[in-house]
A and B are shown apart, each in its own frame.
Chain A
Amino acid sequence: MADALPFQSPQELMECLKSQKYIANNEIATILYLSQQLGKPVLAEGPAGVGKTELAKALAGASDRELIRLQCYEGLDESKALYEWEYAKQLLYTQLLRDKLQETLSSSESLKVAADRLAAEEDVFFSMRFLLQRPLLKAILSPEPTVLLIDEIDRSDAEFEAFLLEVLSDFQVTVPELGTLAAIHRPLVILTSNNTRELSEALKRRCLYLFIDYPSIDQELAVVRLKVPELNPKLARQAVELVHRLRTFDLRKSPSISETLDWAKALVTLNAHNLDDTTLETTLSVLLKHENDLARARRQLLSPPPGKRDIDLKRFQN
């Protein structure tokens, strides 16, 4: 399993990620580098939409490896994540091979001999041919080194988490009919979590922990400039500053980087030149996804309509 490691230093890793249009800070690059060196998975946590999944994609691109993704959800079990026997295919083969089977068995005098002969052939039906590989097994058996992304692990059940432990620490799985399958190449593993529930200590212990928070203004601006180069720089800065201001409000869901990018694209599409009230009014719903948040942001960002002020004045004069 002595693979050539794709990166020689954190700096190199950071450069490679940048070439994949992902701006990583020092911390992210260092932790990814460590994970490659120590052969440990990275557990990335942070608010939704700060680029945890994107990080795995960028890493796959940067290291020129295939990305294998396992999306977790409630009720996900081994047969969906690891492997399954293809019953239908086995059944079909048995049907088609009936003649051949008959031929093999016909010469046997007793039932016992026939059963023994059949048993000798049963390996045919429990071989890799009939094994349906799911993401985890695929990552382990892949002849090329891969990047394995286990997305939103916090959505899966506690049992599945426990099951992952064997895979993540030894990179091997046991299929009863075939024996233990060990990884040809140790994949780079990234787990992401939105922290909707506490993960078990055992799982955390096996991972390196990476907390990705909302970026600073300059970092986010760099991301916007990289991903949406069409947006004029002055407007980009204004937009990023506004998003940062929104994050200081007490909102149900603060806008994250992905929303900033969507918004930047929207501004380009609408051909906006500056952030006036009308532009804001029409595009704010790209940033905020809850009715209450929208109402609150409108109240705080947009100045009250002038008509109202006049009425107040008149009342005062009477």
Chain B
Amino acid sequence: MDKRIVEFVAALRAAGVRISLAESSDAFQAVDFLGVQDRELFRVSLRSTLVKDNSDLETFDNLFPLFFQAGSPPPLFNPSSELTPQEAEMLAKALRQFNDEIRKMLEKLMKGMPLNQSELQNLDQLVNQSNITDLRYQNWLARQMEQALKFREVRQAVQELMELLRQMGMNRQRVDQLRQMLQANQEALQEQLRQYASQRIAENMAQQSRRDRMDNLYNLPFHSLTEEDMHALRQEVRRLAAMLRTRVALRMKRARTGVLDVKATLRSNLKNNSVPFDIHHRDHTLKPRIVILCDISTSMRYCSELMLSLLGEVQDQISKTHAFAFIDHLEYITPLYIDNQPGEAIAKILRQMPSGHYNTDLGLCLDNFIDQYFDTVDSRTTFLILGDGRNNYNEPRTELFRDIARRSRYTIWFNPEPATLWGTGDSDMLKYQPHCKQVVQVSNLTQLASAIDHLLVSNFS
């Protein structure tokens, strides 16, 4: 049993649930107290000790039955025991019409035997499933196994067998009865295969290690992310953001060494007869104000989304964020992205602003920005641009960019391209660069996180 629980924990980890050693040992303790006799109590004791996040409950509920079930496939009928000797003889004769393989299967069905362990292991060799580690493939895998067992041929053979029996003069009613039982048996076998498939997958999951995949994800360039990677990253971003936020909050706390705050000191010491026991200092840290322009054309979309998510998560360390998205023109997206997840916000914005082919135009967008939103930038604002600086040979309008850069406190450009590519082809990066305080290359999540961390620090000076 203990081994089974350990495997279960490993499978949960593989499915993306974070479980520490302490938690799995808690699970064992809990099981010690409540025992394994009552399945429901057992389930609750594992669930409350292993799963600590609402979103992981579903994974738990999916995996639990795979590991801790009686494991009994549905019961099979045994039609052959009900046959009269005469009928049995007929059946034996009819069965001789089929080739070996099919006949064996048919006999199995007639006797109502489930697949035994060695047959299932044989299946493993026929169907390569060792690298399937996702439960969504369960049905697919089961079907592969059915094919390996020639289920379709067998189904057809059952029809033929019935036909033969009828020709040999068996009672029509009996034949129908027999057919129904055989069909039920076959469905039961299918169910057994399905269960077996899911168990195999769960075992595979238990063996797979997860850490290396996550590490890879952190360092995967944005342009080669798939939708699935992105899904994993979105979850990871929340953790990352929590880390960033804690770090920033601590930094803020330690940085409180500003001048004496007379008002606050007097106020808090009134109870001590104005003898100043508690000394209060004025914070000399300023939370940054951020105006961010995100390129959401196809090449930049994931990068922008992650950036917005990270910024959204550290919102309490930032005094104000104005977010804009652009491709060929500018859109103000702060209201969207406060109400929605950044991913949805970008999807929504894309519906309003379909990305055509090669129509990114930062010059025009800067013009829009100065026209309508220039008042969002003041001397405390950090002006961020997230883009590859590829303008499709449109006018870069660097003079506008210079104006904005002058008015803001900092201007930082995040570019996913390596520096060697700047200025090549339609890239205007080198023209914008002199006006930026910093140009940072962010081509994967690790770089993005450190860039944001840096961004929050640079404002404390």
Determine if chain A interacts with chain B.
Answer: yes
- Report which A residues bind B (CB closer than 8 A): 10, 26-27, 30-31, 33-34, 37-38, 40, 43, 45, 87-88, 91, 157-159, 195, 198, 200-201, 204-211
Whether B271 lies near A204 (C-beta < 8 A) is: no
Chain A's nearest CB lies how many Å from the CB of B46? 11
Whether A158 lies near B245 (C-beta < 8 A) is: yes
Taking A27-B44, A30-B45, A40-B26 as given, write out 16 further A-B residue pairs in contact, using a Cβ cutoff of 8 Å, ordered by the A residue number: A10-B34, A30-B34, A34-B48, A38-B29, A38-B33, A45-B54, A87-B272, A87-B277, A88-B272, A91-B273, A158-B242, A158-B245, A198-B242, A200-B246, A205-B20, A209-B47
Whether A43 lies near B44 (C-beta < 8 A) is: no
Whether A207 lies near B272 (C-beta < 8 A) is: no
Whether A159 lies near B253 (C-beta < 8 A) is: yes
Whether B53 lies near A38 (C-beta < 8 A) is: no
CB contacts (< 8 Å) of A31 on chain B: these are: 44, 48
Number of chain B residues whose Cβ lies closer than 8 Å to a Cβ of chain A: 34
Alpha-carbon distance A33/B38, docked complex (angstroms): 15
Whether A209 lies near B33 (C-beta < 8 A) is: no
Q: In this assembly, does B238 line the interface, its C-beta being within 8 Å of a C-beta of chain A?
A: yes
Q: In this assembly, does B30 line the interface, its C-beta being within 8 Å of a C-beta of chain A?
A: yes
CB contacts (< 8 Å) of A211 on chain B: these are: 54, 57
CB contacts (< 8 Å) of B33 on chain A: these are: 34, 37-38
Whether B44 lies near A209 (C-beta < 8 A) is: no
Cβ 8 A contact of A198, one of B44, B238, B250, B273: B238
Whether A209 lies near B245 (C-beta < 8 A) is: no
Alpha-carbon distance A206/B271, docked complex (angstroms): 38
CB contacts (< 8 Å) of B48 on chain A: these are: 30-31, 34, 208-210
Alpha-carbon distance A40/B23, docked complex (angstroms): 11
CB contacts (< 8 Å) of B57 on chain A: these are: 211
CB contacts (< 8 Å) of A10 on chain B: these are: 34, 41
CB contacts (< 8 Å) of B23 on chain A: these are: 205
Cβ 8 A contact of A91, one of B29, B44, B272: B272
Whether B54 lies near A201 (C-beta < 8 A) is: no
Q: In this assembly, does B18 line the interface, its C-beta being within 8 Å of a C-beta of chain A?
A: yes
Whether A200 lies near B253 (C-beta < 8 A) is: no
Alpha-carbon distance A37/B44, docked complex (angstroms): 14
Instruction: Give the residues from 1 to 51 in chain B that come closer than 8 angstroms, CB to CB, to chain A.
Output: 18, 20, 22-23, 26, 29-30, 33-34, 40-41, 44-45, 47-49, 51
Q: In this assembly, does B419 line the interface, its C-beta being within 8 Å of a C-beta of chain A?
A: no
Q: What residue in chain B is nearest A204 (Cβ atoms)?
A: B52
Main secondary structure of the interface of B (DSSP, over half): helix
Whether A158 lies near B41 (C-beta < 8 A) is: no
Alpha-carbon distance A209/B72, docked complex (angstroms): 31
CB contacts (< 8 Å) of B53 on chain A: these are: 204, 209
Chain A's nearest CB lies how many Å from the CB of B65? 17
- Lowest 3 CB-CB distances: which A-B pairs, in order? A204-B52, A30-B44, A208-B48
CB contacts (< 8 Å) of B54 on chain A: these are: 45, 195, 211
Alpha-carbon distance A10/B34, docked complex (angstroms): 9
Chain B's nearest CB lies how many Å from the CB of A198? 5
CB contacts (< 8 Å) of A200 on chain B: these are: 242, 246
Q: A38-B26, A40-B26, A87-B272 are in contact. Are A26 and B52 (CB under 8 A)?
A: no
Q: List 17 A-B contacts (CB under 8 A).
A: A27-B44, A30-B44, A34-B44, A34-B45, A38-B29, A38-B30, A159-B249, A198-B242, A201-B18, A204-B53, A205-B22, A205-B52, A208-B26, A208-B48, A209-B48, A209-B49, A209-B52
Alpha-carbon distance A198/B52, docked complex (angstroms): 11
Which of A38, A159, A206 lies at the interface centre, i.e. has the most chain B CB atoms within 10 A of its CB?
A38
CB contacts (< 8 Å) of B40 on chain A: these are: 26
CB contacts (< 8 Å) of A45 on chain B: these are: 54
Alpha-carbon distance A226/B158, docked complex (angstroms): 59
Chain B's nearest CB lies how many Å from the CB of A213? 9
Alpha-carbon distance A198/B245, docked complex (angstroms): 11
Q: In this assembly, does B262 line the interface, its C-beta being within 8 Å of a C-beta of chain A?
A: no
Q: A45-B54, A198-B242 are in contact. Are A34 and B250 (CB under 8 A)?
A: no
CB contacts (< 8 Å) of B29 on chain A: these are: 38
Alpha-carbon distance A292/B54, docked complex (angstroms): 28
CB contacts (< 8 Å) of A210 on chain B: these are: 48
Which of A10, A31, A45, A209 lies at the interface centre, i.e. has the most chain B CB atoms within 10 A of its CB?
A209
CB contacts (< 8 Å) of A195 on chain B: these are: 54
Alpha-carbon distance A204/B19, docked complex (angstroms): 10
CB contacts (< 8 Å) of B273 on chain A: these are: 88, 91
Chain B's nearest CB lies how many Å from the CB of A306? 37
Q: In this assembly, does B83 line the interface, its C-beta being within 8 Å of a C-beta of chain A?
A: no
Q: In this assembly, does B275 line the interface, its C-beta being within 8 Å of a C-beta of chain A?
A: yes
CB contacts (< 8 Å) of A91 on chain B: these are: 272-273, 275
Alpha-carbon distance A33/B49, docked complex (angstroms): 13
Alpha-carbon distance A200/B238, docked complex (angstroms): 11
Q: A34-B33, A209-B51 are in contact. Are A201 and B272 (CB under 8 A)?
A: no
Alpha-carbon distance A33/B35, docked complex (angstroms): 13
Which of A43, A159, A206, A208 lies at the interface centre, i.e. has the most chain B CB atoms within 10 A of its CB?
A208
Whether B44 lies near A88 (C-beta < 8 A) is: no
Alpha-carbon distance A209/B51, docked complex (angstroms): 7
Q: What residue in chain B is nearest A31 (Cβ atoms)?
A: B48
Q: What residue in chain B is nearest A10 (Cβ atoms)?
A: B41
Which of B53, B239, B272 lies at the interface centre, i.e. has the most chain A CB atoms within 10 A of its CB?
B53
Whether B51 lies near A159 (C-beta < 8 A) is: no
Alpha-carbon distance A274/B239, docked complex (angstroms): 50
Alpha-carbon distance A43/B250, docked complex (angstroms): 25
Alpha-carbon distance A34/B29, docked complex (angstroms): 9
Q: What residue in chain A is nearest B23 (Cβ atoms)?
A: A205
Alpha-carbon distance A170/B30, docked complex (angstroms): 19
Alpha-carbon distance A79/B91, docked complex (angstroms): 87
Alpha-carbon distance A136/B208, docked complex (angstroms): 43
Q: What residue in chain B is nearest A45 (Cβ atoms)?
A: B54
Alpha-carbon distance A273/B245, docked complex (angstroms): 54
Alpha-carbon distance A204/B271, docked complex (angstroms): 38
Whether A43 lies near B52 (C-beta < 8 A) is: yes
Chain A's nearest CB lies how many Å from the CB of B135? 21
Q: What residue in chain B is nearest A198 (Cβ atoms)?
A: B242
Whether B49 lies near A208 (C-beta < 8 A) is: yes
Which of B40, B47, B253, B275 lies at the interface centre, i.e. has the most chain A CB atoms within 10 A of its CB?
B47
CB contacts (< 8 Å) of B245 on chain A: these are: 158
